[in-house]
Amino acid sequence: MQDGRLRAEEQVRQLTAENNARAARIQTMIDDFKSMKNELMESNAVKDQYIDNLNKEIAGLNEKLNEQKQSLQERNFTFGFERERLSETLGEKDSKIQSLERRIAEMDKELSGQSSTLSDRNIRITALTDQITAMETERGRAEKQRAELEQQLQKIREETNALKGQLQEKDETIKRLQNNVTLLKKELGGGN
């Protein structure tokens, strides 16, 4: 009977030691899980902050794009108005040139038989020719100005397209980050 009691006490000691070791292992696992959970929460917070920063950047780009669009509309309006004004000016110059050419033709016809007024006619023709030359020069300047406006409009279109491309890249980056966050949240949910 004494032997049975000793064996029972030995079994109790063994079971107690096993239970203590098992409890220590469980506590270690709990501590490891808490540490891993904290790391995941910190990583998730960093990614949330990064997404917020990206959202702010995209908002800024959207605002800049809207400003560019508004500026482009204003420039388009100004360009259209200026082009219309230049076209009207060129039309007026052409009409004046044609009128002057008709006057020269009429004067040539009237003065063809008047040799005594040849000097006066030459002076008038020279003056009219100078006017025509000046108008042609002015028309050339107007054509050059219109070409410059066309180049400015093309540059604005290229800048707008570049901004649209940047915005599309930002949208794709946000979508990818959102997918990553969704996956992380699913993993966290599965881990709990």
pLDDT in tens, 84-93: 887 888 888 8
pTM of the model: 0.32
Cβ atoms of 172 and 53 closer than 8 Å: no
pLDDT tens digit sequence for 29-65: 888 788 888 777 787 777 778 778 887 887 888 888 8
* Mean pLDDT across 95-104: 83
Question: Tens of pLDDT along 115-171?
Answer: 556 676 677 878 888 888 888 888 888 788 888 888 888 888 888 888 888 888 888
Q: What is the DSSP letter of 112?
A: T
Pair of tokens at residue 73: 């509309």
Sign of the Cα torsion 94, 96, 98, 104 reads: negative
